[in-house]
Every structure is written in C-alpha cells, then in structure tokens.
Structure 1
Amino acid sequence: MKIVLHKAATRGHADHGWLNSWHTFSFAGYHDPERIHFGALRVLNDDTVAPGAGFGKHPHNNMEIVSIPLEGDLEHGDSIGNTAVIKQGDVQAMSAGTGVVHSEKNKNGDKQVKFLQIWVFPNERNVQPQYDQKTFSNAEKQNKLLTVVSPLGTNDGGVQIHQDAWFSLGKLDKGTIVNYRLKKEGNGVYAFLLEGDASINDVVLNRRDGLGISEEGTLNIVANTDAELLLMEVPMT
C-alpha cells in the first residue's frame, strides 16, 4: 500500500477577496512539484465565493470537471446551452472535450457559496462536450458510501464522466465503520474529509485533510466523530 497524506493547512491558498480558494494540487499561482496530481485527479479546489461574485465566462477543453456545492447556490451557464443552479446535495459534471465556455456565479447577493471544484483527466480526448447534474439526499448518504460520479455508460449511479472513475459521498455517525472496495484494478483512491475526524486504513484524518491510497484493494473507514467524506477512485496511470 502506498499513501500520501495532505494535511489541510499544507494546501495552497489564494484569497482574492471575492474568492477564497484552497488548492490540494498545484493550480494557478500555487505550484508544488510534489503535488501536481494524484493519478487522473488533477485539481481539487475548496472554494468560497462572496455574495454576488463569481467566475466570468472562461474556456475549458479535454477535462472532466465535477462541481459539488457544500453551501449556498451556484449559478451555471455554458456555451452548449445549459443554465442551472446547483446547491447542497447536487453534483454536477461537465465534459469539456473539444471545448466549452462556461461561467459560475454565486446566485445570492446576501450569502456566500462554498463548493468543491474537481478536475479529472479524461480517458478519451476531443469528445463532444456534455453536461450532467443530479441531486442526492442526505438519507442516501447516511452511514454508507453513495456513488455520485461514475464512468460513462455504466449503471453505477451518479453523474457520468469520460474516465474509469467513481466518486462516493458518505455522512457517517460517530463510531460507524464502512469498507470501500475498489471497482477497478490499478486504480487508487483520494479521500477528502469534508467534516469531522476519521481513520482510513489506520491513518487519522481531520477536517479538510486529504489522503491518497494506491496499490490497495480495500479501504477500512472509521468515523472517529460524526464525519462527512468524499472518496475519488481514479486510474493511477
């Protein structure tokens, strides 16, 4: 088993006033040659956007982009005709493929929005851009791991992306033990602890810590307090 532990305070940080962003991996002005990516997982940004502010129209290509709101309402618009508001409980995926222009804005003028911005390298380049969005209840994630992202063409649930990757969300009561068995040989898992304290394969994690595990087929997860976590299973090559 190989592990890489990223404590919350060691992440890159950028405070632009309207945007307060923590970068698990190198991004924009933050560069660490030891933290470029974890397998196909390229970006994990923990973003807070001020009331009424947001990202103007900007382009992407050949990247799978997953957004997971944690608080507030995020308004999305893109060049392939999609307009939507995503909020806590929603998961959004956009395959940029041959190219797409989009914008993301805090819909509300009186409260901030918090969301995870996640980029995954695709397993196929220059695909037709596509958009997917689904809503998941807290009950579906209670004391278990719910698949919220899965590979295109599977029936594993969740929004679909062009990669052999599976994301799972869990809300665990203190003392709960769950196991996660990897779905594809050669994949690894990057765990991001959203809230609380937990142990994964005996490694202790606190709020906003990240843990990458590869060359291991099963994860044993123990909630040391009430905890919320995101697991991202991705190819390592």
Structure 2
Amino acid sequence: MTDVRRSADRYRGGDPASGIESLHAFSFGRFYDPDNLRFGAVLACNEERLAPGAGFDEHPHSHTEIVTWVVEGELTHRDSQGHATLVRPGDVQRLSSAGGVRHVERNDGDLPLVFVQMWLAPLSPGGDPSYEIVHGIADSTPYALPQAGAMLHVRRLTPGERTAVPDAAAVYIHVVRGEVRLGETELGPGDSVRITDADGLVLAAAGTAEVLLWELG
C-alpha cells in the first residue's frame, strides 16, 4: 500500500516572527491529528528553516532517536552531554535522547539554514544518551539505526537515474529536493510517501534530486 502526502498539506509551525518556520508531516506540538501520529517507528519528519541568528534554545528530549539532515547552511548543535558540533550538508547527525538530554540548535551563520529532522521511536526506552555525526556520508551508503530497528538510505540522483526502494515491511520516503517518479506518481520537494510491504518499487529522477528513504522493520 502506498500513501502519498504532499508538501502543501504539512502542518505549519515554528515562530516566523523569530525567524523559525517549521513544516510537520505528523502531529506535532499544538497540531494534533489522531490519525497521523506515526508511521512505523517514524514519529516526526520536520522541515525546519532558520534565519541567520535564529534557533531553538535549550530544550529537553527523552526516549527518542533524533536524526538530522542539513539541506543548506550550517546547524550549530550543543547538548548537555558536552557535544558541540557544526552539521553541514551531507552530514548525518544522530542524538539518542534515551533517559533524557537537553540540547540547543541554532543558525549561527550568515546564511539561511534549512534542515530535515526526523524522530524515531526506540525499540527500548531509557538508557544513556548518545551522539554521533557522520561527516559527508557517501551516496547509497546506508546509515543503520539499530536503536529503532531502522536504516536510512540517502540517495542523490542524477537526471534519469533510477534507484530501488528497499523491499521492507515499511518504507518512509521524503523528497529533499528535485522531482522523482514512483510508478506513475510524480513527487516534488517536501512530498513524502508511506509504503507498506514494499516490493519491487523504483524511484526515477526527472532531474537532479535528493531523497531520504527509511527502511523500517
């Protein structure tokens, strides 16, 4: 089964007056839809746009796997475990909040920052927080998230290139940029697809495109 969700249908959040614009694919904050709480382990897929100098002040998380993909600009990350990093396009950042952690996310640069942040439910709650950043992950190199029983596939496609959708019980697709086709369905930036029992599906790029695919157990 394939469920296509369009970018225009995302919930709008953030605080535009403070330079923060957020687009939510799932129920988030004050936006509540009991029929759109999660898909498999995926709890959130937020598109965040931060103006220079804007950001999220220190705030807590717990029992959540947080994976961040920067589209443009640089994300400054600091957390209560002592990690302080710059996350750039091509980097995969993971924060396992486990029993509890606090962090800050800001755009300390001179250019606008755009990133996609995905929250996944861990298989087992609690434990100790952990952090990892993979700089410049190679195309088609999967990023394993065993804490959530999931695998992230990053695909940067050239015009006309095709890529297989993982055959899995569930797959979540988010189009970062460009246009791709899934069967007869055209997908653009910000569109997403929730697939159950994926088997033999292929994405084809109309032009240069970037896609995130979550293979879910």
Q: What is the TM-score with the length of structure 2 in the denominator?
A: 0.93
For residues 91 and 80 of structure 1, the distance between their equivalents in structure 2, rounded to whole angstroms, comes to 18
For residues 104 and 4 of structure 1, the distance between their equivalents in structure 2, rounded to whole angstroms, comes to 31
**Equivalent residue number for residue 46 of structure 1:** 47
| CA-to-aligned-CA distance 1:116-163 (integer Å, 9 cap, x gap) | 1110000111021100001125xx32xxx331x2034xxxxxxxxx12
Q: 1:15 deviation in Å?
A: 4.8
**Equivalent residue number for residue 128 of structure 2:** 128
For residues 73 and 229 of structure 1, the distance between their equivalents in structure 2, rounded to whole angstroms, comes to 19
The yes-or-no answer on 1:81 pairing with 2:82 is yes
Please say if residues 179 and 206 of structure 2, whose CA atoms lie closer than 8 Å, have aligned partners that are also in contact: yes
| CA-to-aligned-CA distance 1:61-95 (integer Å, 9 cap, x gap) | 10000111111111111111111111111110011
> Which one is further off, 40-49 or 173-182?
173-182
For residues 115 and 45 of structure 1, the distance between their equivalents in structure 2, rounded to whole angstroms, comes to 8
For residues 164 and 57 of structure 1, the distance between their equivalents in structure 2, rounded to whole angstroms, comes to 28
- Correspondences of 1:32-181 after superposition (within 5 Å): 32-108=33-109, 110-136=110-136, 140-141=138-139, 145-147=140-142, 149-152=143-146, 162-181=147-166
Q: 1:168 deviation in Å?
A: 1.0
Q: 1:19 deviation in Å?
A: 0.5
**Equivalent residue number for residue 224 of structure 1:** 206
Q: SS at the partner of 1:98? A: coil
Q: SS at the partner of 1:146? A: coil
**Equivalent residue number for residue 159 of structure 1:** none
Please say if residues 165 and 198 of structure 2, whose CA atoms lie closer than 8 Å, have aligned partners that are also in contact: no
For residues 122 and 29 of structure 2, the distance between their equivalents in structure 1, rounded to whole angstroms, comes to 20
Please say if residues 171 and 195 of structure 2, whose CA atoms lie closer than 8 Å, have aligned partners that are also in contact: yes
Please say if residues 60 and 103 of structure 2, whose CA atoms lie closer than 8 Å, have aligned partners that are also in contact: yes
**Equivalent residue number for residue 216 of structure 2:** 234
**Equivalent residue number for residue 158 of structure 1:** none
The yes-or-no answer on 1:196 pairing with 2:210 is no
For residues 124 and 201 of structure 2, the distance between their equivalents in structure 1, rounded to whole angstroms, comes to 28
Q: 1:207 aligns with which of 189, 196, 200?
A: 189
Instruction: Flag structure 1 segments of 5+ consecutive residues without an equivalent.
Output: 153-161
Please say if residues 166 and 198 of structure 2, whose CA atoms lie closer than 8 Å, have aligned partners that are also in contact: no
Aligned sequence identity (%) = 30
For residues 201 and 165 of structure 1, the distance between their equivalents in structure 2, rounded to whole angstroms, comes to 24
Q: SS at the partner of 1:51? A: coil
For residues 216 and 165 of structure 1, the distance between their equivalents in structure 2, rounded to whole angstroms, comes to 15
Please say if residues 71 and 176 of structure 2, whose CA atoms lie closer than 8 Å, have aligned partners that are also in contact: no
Q: SS at the partner of 1:35? A: coil
Question: Match for 1:57: what amino acid?
Answer: E
Runs of 4+ in 1 over 6 A off after TM superposition: none
Instruction: Flag structure 2 segments of 5+ consecutive residues without an equivalent.
Output: none
For residues 28 and 22 of structure 1, the distance between their equivalents in structure 2, rounded to whole angstroms, comes to 12
| CA-to-aligned-CA distance 1:24-55 (integer Å, 9 cap, x gap) | 11111222222211111000000001111111
Question: Match for 1:53: what amino acid?
Answer: A
Q: What is the TM-score with the length of structure 1 in the denominator?
A: 0.86
Q: 1:180 deviation in Å?
A: 3.1
| CA-to-aligned-CA distance 1:207-231 (integer Å, 9 cap, x gap) | 2110111112333111122211110
Q: SS at the partner of 1:9? A: helix
